[in-house]
Amino acid sequence: MVIGIAKLEIKLVDASHHSRWLTIIRFDRVHGEKAFYRLRSMLDDPGFAYQRIGSTFGLTPQRIAMLDSDNASEPYAGSLTS
C-alpha cells in the first residue's frame, strides 16, 4: 500500500514537470524562440514591472504574474534538454 502511494506521488511530480515544459514550449511557439528565457530574465530583474513585461509580450500583468508563480520553483535552464 505504501509503495502505491509513493508511485502516485512520483507521477504527480512528473506531471508537474511535464506541465512546466509544455508551458515553456507553448510560450516559445507563440512569442518566438527563447521567449520564455527572455521572460524569466525580465522577471528576475527587479527593475521590470509586470505591466512592462506584459506589454513586451502582449500579455496582461495578471498573466505575467501567473507565469511567474507557476515557474518560480525551478529556474529556467534555457534548454529543453536539461
Prediction pTM value: 0.64
Lookup: cell for 40: 524569466
Q: What is the pLDDT of residue 1?
A: 44
Q: How many CB atoms lie within 10 A of CB 81?
A: 4
Q: What is the pLDDT of residues 14-68, one digit of tens each?
A: 566 677 788 889 999 999 999 999 999 999 999 999 999 999 999 999 999 998 9
